[in-house]
């Protein structure tokens, strides 16, 4: 059994207001080409199909185009996907039963009633049965009626809720089992702050959504979504594939890809990363203004200027935008700032001229000092006259 593991498509995403529609279509075309070459028996997408619960018309059209071309390219393969925390579970669930008859499983809602269970799709090959358990993003409140409450009567934590929810399933461990899930799973013994997270990810306060990955042990492979950087959760067979396209500057330099999973007899699982090449890279370019301008390119670029002196180039932004048509932002490093030292010293009050000079970034020469003194004297005289007149 061979299948592709994808996740976190985030269709409709904007990178600092840059529309990524063309970039996402470029990546999807690569995925379709790889599917034609590798002929997977299934393709699983582990959540966050869209970047927002109510996607734009353009995002829906792009998704429709991708799925249509993928199903035409591998017509005898099964396509399975679940909702993530960015998706509207109800929208993904729409026409669920109808689509399943076309070998397209779009599972938006987890089980919520006692008689409901995690959606299971059963495929077979020459080694026997492979059971795919499709578990969309779960909040404890969504499954409270079937997993119950804590001893104190309060809602369960994410960890306890997921353990009880998966524990309800009768999993035949003599067969090959795959779970497709979109949660924040932690390797046993690891802490949430030890896991590198990307700027494009939604994080909860106090990492209350963390789930111990030991709940995944009954499965031969865990196709996970939610973490945007490719990551293993304790083993080769519990994996986040990451986003197929960089969604933030923090993902600069990451090699994105599809995980191709090959399952032979029970206990034999091999994984291969099929690299994806973006239409435009996400890059950070540092240096002086002149150095940076020499590195002009079409990529999505954050420029970090490291000039040692404070300067004001009137056309600086225009020059940078010309060199980098897809410029995201300009940052300054080592920028000279005013030194706001305390000006009221113990037992000492500076005179008005010394007080004003303390806010200047550089020392003034004799001519400038004389000019400043005359200006300050004029201002003080005007203020004194106004006070004398009761204004």
Higher pLDDT, 176 or 333: 176
Backbone phi and psi for residue 285, each to the nearest 5 degrees, phi listed first: -115, 120
* Per-residue model confidence as pLDDT tens digits over 21-55: 999 999 999 999 999 999 999 999 999 999 999 99
Which whole number is the average pLDDT over 298-324? 85
CB burial of 192-211 (b: ≥16 within 10 Å; e: otherwise) equals eeebebbebbeeeeeeebbb
Which whole number is the average pLDDT over 246-258? 93
Q: What whole-number distance in Å separates Cα of residue 155 and Cα of residue 140?
A: 7
Q: What whole-number distance in Å separates Cα of residue 240 and Cα of residue 273?
A: 12
Higher pLDDT, 58 or 197: 58
pLDDT of residue 26: 97
| pLDDT > 90? residue 207 | no
- pTM reported for the whole predicted model: 0.81
Q: What whole-number distance in Å separates Cα of residue 5 and Cα of residue 64?
A: 19
CA dihedral defined by 306, 312, 318, 320, rounded to 10 degrees?
-10
Q: What whole-number distance in Å separates Cα of residue 65 and Cα of residue 73?
A: 12
* Per-residue model confidence as pLDDT tens digits over 337-354: 545 445 444 444 556 667
* Per-residue model confidence as pLDDT tens digits over 95-151: 999 999 999 999 999 999 999 999 999 999 999 999 999 999 999 999 999 999 888
Q: In what order do the strands lie in the sheet with 257-263?
A: 104-107, 78-82, 42-46, 2-6, 257-263, 269-275
Q: What whole-number distance in Å separates Cα of residue 172 and Cα of residue 245?
A: 36
pLDDT of residue 15: 93
pLDDT of residue 314: 72
Helix axes 21-38 and 57-73, enclosed angle (nearest 10) = 10
Write the CA distances from 242 to 94, 256, 257, 385, integer angstroms: 26, 7, 8, 70
pLDDT of residue 105: 97
Higher pLDDT, 187 or 114: 114
CB atoms within 10 A of CB 14: 13
Higher pLDDT, 193 or 297: 297
Per-position DSSP letters for 77-105, written without gaps between them: SEEEEE--TTS-HHHHHTTHHHHHTTTEE
Pick from 144, 8, 28: which is nearest to 85 by CA?
8
Pick from 9, 18, 45, 33: which is nearest to 299 by CA?
18
* Per-residue model confidence as pLDDT tens digits over 222-243: 999 999 999 999 889 999 999 9
Which whole number is the average pLDDT over 376-381? 73
CB atoms within 10 A of CB 246: 25
| pLDDT > 90? residue 92 | yes
Q: What whole-number distance in Å separates Cα of residue 112 and Cα of residue 82?
A: 16
Higher pLDDT, 61 or 234: 61
Taking a C-beta distance cutoff of 8 angstroms, is the pair 47, 84 a contact? yes
Kindly report the CA angle at 166 between 160 and 167, in degrees rounded to 5? 80
Strand, helix or coil for residue 58: helix
Which whole number is the average pLDDT over 90-98? 93
What percent of the chain stands above pLDDT 90?
71
Which whole number is the average pLDDT over 360-369? 64
**pLDDT band for position 277 (cuts 50, 70, 90):** very high
């Amino acid at each position: 059994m061979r299948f592709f593991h994808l996740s976190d498509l985030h269709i409709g995403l904007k990178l600092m207001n840059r529309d990524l529609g063309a970039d996402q279509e470029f990546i999807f075309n690569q995925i379709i080409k790889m599917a034609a070459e590798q002929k997977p028996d299934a393709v699983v997408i582990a959540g966050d199909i869209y970047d927002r619960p109510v996607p734009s018309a353009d995002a829906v059209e792009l998704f429709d185009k991708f799925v249509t071309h993928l199903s035409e390219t591998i017509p005898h393969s099964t396509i399975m996907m679940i909702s993530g925390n960015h998706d509207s579970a109800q929208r993904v669930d729409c026409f669920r039963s109808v689509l399943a008859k076309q070998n397209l499983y779009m599972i938006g809602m987890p089980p919520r009633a006692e008689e409901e269970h995690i959606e299971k799709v059963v495929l077979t090959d020459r080694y026997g049965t492979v059971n795919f358990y499709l578990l969309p993003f779960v909040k404890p409140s969504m499954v409270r009626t079937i997993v119950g409450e804590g001893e104190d009567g309060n809602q369960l934590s994410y960890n306890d809720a997921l353990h009880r929810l998966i524990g309800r399933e009768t999993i035949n461990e003599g067969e090959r089992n795959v779970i497709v899930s979109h949660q924040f799973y932690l390797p046993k013994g690891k802490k949430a702050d030890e896991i590198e997270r990307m700027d494009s990810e939604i994080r909860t306060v106090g990492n209350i959504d963390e789930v111990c990955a030991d709940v995944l042990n009954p499965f031969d492979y865990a196709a996970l979504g939610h973490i945007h950087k490719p990551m293993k959760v304790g083993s080769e067979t519990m994996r986040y594939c990451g986003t197929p396209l960089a969604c933030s500057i923090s993902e600069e330099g990451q090699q994105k890809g599809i995980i191709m999973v090959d399952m032979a007899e029970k206990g034999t699982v091999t994984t291969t990363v099929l690299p994806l090449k973006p239409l435009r890279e996400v890059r950070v370019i540092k240096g002086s203004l002149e150095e940076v301008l020499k590195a002009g390119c079409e990529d999505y670029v954050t420029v970090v200027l490291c000039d040692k002196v404070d300067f004001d180039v009137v056309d600086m932004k225009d020059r940078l935008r010309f060199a980098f048509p897809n410029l995201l932002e300009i940052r300054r490093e080592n920028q000279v700032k005013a030194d706001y030292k305390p000006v009221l010293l113990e037992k000492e009050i500076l005179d008005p001229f010394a007080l004003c000079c303390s806010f200047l970034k550089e020392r003034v020469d004799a001519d400038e000092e004389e000019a400043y003194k005359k200006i300050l004297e004029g201002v003080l005289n005007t203020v004194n006259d106004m006070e004398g007149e009761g204004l």
